[in-house]
Structure 1
Amino acid sequence: MKTKVNLGIDVLFNKIYRVKEKKNLAVVCGGFSNEKVISGQSADVVIQSLKGSDYNIFKVWIDENQWSLLHEDQTLPIDKNDFSASTKDGKLNFDGVFNTIHGTPGENGILQGYFDLLKIPYNNCGVYASSITFNKGACNRLLRHFGVKSANSYLLKSDETYSEEKILERVGLPCFVKPNASGSSLGISRVNDAPELKAAIDHAFIEDDLVIIEEFLPGTEITCGVVERDGKPKALAVTEIVVEKEFFDYEAKYHHKGTQEITPARISKEDYEACMRLTEQIYTWLDCQGIVRADYILNEKGIFLIEVNTTPGLSSASLVPQMAVYAGYTLEEFFSEEVELLLNRH
């Protein structure tokens, strides 16, 4: 007959064994930008999808003020020295990280460098691919060397004196003004008349110290998600974006009922396949990992790259989950495969 002490040891042993049997995964969200709300929604979708998986799932919030584990109605501080947390059951270490932070520090390589130093594997691109794709101007210039088309543009620093006339000579009207390093279409304006340009530039500088002004490209807006499977990039689907507003801004993406996201895109079979293959090539050229989405304009002159997103939105209103379902995945299957890849990648 077992004593209470023996029974207590058995319970403790079983508890430790179960924790060791299941790997601990931190789903990291938040960030330092205005995209933290979307990041939190993305994390919730991932966590909900992985509830029945073979992992212990924990939500970690990172912002300018705190790094916290949100666990059992408690907010516990994260020790940045080793990315751990102290719980009532002892020290909690993580076997891997599923990063859903849009913007800095999760999309621009900063957090990736931190996890690399700690040798904690994560789901998305490494430092190089994250930092280069976060800089829209630099990324598009790099990809032009591979023959990827993109709009004519003008790059502007916040402390730089500029001539509105010279800008418009290069990009023409209408044009788009956007933060060079931001997502979810925050800070973007369409400029139809020259007097509107300065206000649009000032608006973009609220989000970033570097602003890119791009020529307007008429055509169909399309986007393509891509992941890694069997060691190779695999495009998921091409989605067509149709908006009632002038362009696909934050409001149109997440709140406007007139926005249509049509999968598969209503384009020719040849253009559809060309977009899929181009997205896979970009994934390879930039040495990407994890889930990536590339946005384009399609017109009679070809496929023009808008930008590459290495931490795309995964909320219920986001594009990649829709593409994954169209490609034949359940979200549980889709995210579970990503977790398996990240745990075996590093």
Structure 2
Amino acid sequence: MKKNVAIIMGGYSTEYDISIKSGSVVYQYLDRNSYNPYKVIIAKEAWYVLLDNGQKVEIDKGDFSAFIHGEKIKFEVVFNAIHGTPGEDGYMQAYLEMLGIPQTACDFYQAALTFNKRDLLSVLKAYGIRSAESVYLNEGDPIDADAILAKVGLPCFVKANRAGSSMGTSKIYKKEELDQALANAFAEDDQVLIEAFLDGTEVSVGVITYKGKTKVLPITEIVPHGDWFDYKAKYEGGSTEYTPARIPQEMTDKISALAQKAYEVLGMKGFSRSEFIIVDGNPFMLEMNTTPGLTEQSLLPQQAAEAGIPLAELFDNALTEALKK
């Protein structure tokens, strides 16, 4: 019996368009012999099923169903392809758990924790996973630029604490640039993380639950064409990526072990993609993404392909694991 799958995409953040691309790729590759997939757009103004003819059918938020061609469609599983809020920060996970509908991403607590860069890195520090020196600010806090820069140095990164795709992130070189960088970050989130610049090799590693077990995917080395791995580098061809990464086997093993450790100690499931900077032989974690990009060009699908897992199998496995719950 084929399962009705809601592929949720869109969301409430500036990552809306990127999420639509990811969700559309999932829709394209899902096996129609096993699933009846539906594109479900989650937007601030409405939640709706987008049919192939362009028709929009409103979602009943009471039980997450829709009337399509006179028939009430109830979704047996949700494929979460939302980047940012409310799909990557725990809100959709909590809502679906309340309704008893399984979904492919991690659970709501893990989503909320990993979406908050400061809290994630603080928790993982207790497990020996290093991160950059940092300063945390809430909107409205007094700002002592001299004290901040004395701690993190220059250049440094000013980041929206709860955002992805480098939204609200700036790299600054002078004290005079701090105010504008903070304004950019606070436009995205009311919490900001200011981090020391780590001059090293940037790598990304996917960890997934695959056939019931934790699987670490091949590592990708990221070489931005510009100054750093910003939005343009991520989505507009502004970087060169090497999968597997051009790093020694010893370092590959070390980073793979750290990524797996983070995944398991946090009680993760589904997809994750962790970012590290290697400085003087030591990996420092930057962040963990729990609904990473899923287009053919995205990092995690690249890594899965290197591991011999094509997109159709990657997506099918995610749904199979979700339905076990």
1:316 to 296, 320, 323: 296
Name the residue aligned to 2:118. Answer: 137
CA distance in 2, matches of 1:205, 1:72: 38
Name the residue aligned to 2:190. Answer: 209
In structure 2, give the amino acid aligned to 1:39: S
Match of 1:247, SS state, is coil
Q: Which deviations, in whole Å up to 9, do the C-alpha atoms of 1:45-85 show, x marking residues without a partner?
A: 11111144410000000011000001242100000000000
In structure 2, give the amino acid aligned to 1:250: Y
CA distance in 1, matches of 2:178, 2:241: 29
Match of 1:334, SS state, is helix
CA distance in 1, matches of 2:210, 2:324: 13
CA distance in 1, matches of 2:210, 2:296: 23
Name the residue aligned to 2:151. Answer: 170
2:169 to 176, 179, 188: 188
CA distance in 1, matches of 2:70, 2:300: 36
Match of 1:276, SS state, is helix
Structure 1: where are the runs of 5+ without partners? 1-20
1:272 to 230, 252, 260: 252
Name the residue aligned to 1:304. Answer: 284
Name the residue aligned to 1:37. Answer: 17
Name the residue aligned to 1:5. Answer: none
CA distance in 2, matches of 1:129, 1:328: 28
In structure 2, give the amino acid aligned to 1:260: T
1:229: Cα distance to partner?
2.5
1:234: Cα distance to partner?
0.8
In structure 2, give the amino acid aligned to 1:70: L
1:87: Cα distance to partner?
1.3
| TM-score normalised over the length of structure 1 | 0.92
CA distance in 2, matches of 1:111, 1:226: 21
| TM-score normalised over the length of structure 2 | 0.98
In structure 1, give the amino acid aligned to 2:112: S
Contact 1:53 1:336 in 2 (8 A): no
Identical-pair percentage: 44
Q: Which deviations, in whole Å up to 9, do the C-alpha atoms of 1:140-163 show, x marking residues without a partner?
A: 011000110000100011111111
1:333: Cα distance to partner?
1.0
In structure 1, give the amino acid aligned to 2:291: T
2:34 to 36, 46, 54: 54
CA distance in 1, matches of 2:76, 2:14: 29
Name the residue aligned to 1:263. Answer: 243
Query: Residues 106 and 129 (structure 1 numbering): CA distance in 2 closer, same or farther, change over 3 Å?
Result: same
Counterpart check, 1:110 vs 2:86: no
Match runs of 1:141-160 below 5 Å:
141-160=122-141
CA distance in 2, matches of 1:297, 1:54: 40
1:276: Cα distance to partner?
1.1
RMSD across aligned positions (CA): 1.0
Q: 113-122 or 191-200, which moves further after superposition? A: 191-200
Name the residue aligned to 2:78. Answer: 97
1:66 to 46, 50, 57: 46
1:182: Cα distance to partner?
0.2
Larger radius of gyration: 1
Q: 89-98 or 44-53, which moves further after superposition? A: 44-53
CA distance in 1, matches of 2:95, 2:44: 16
1:275: Cα distance to partner?
1.0
CA distance in 1, matches of 2:33, 2:304: 18
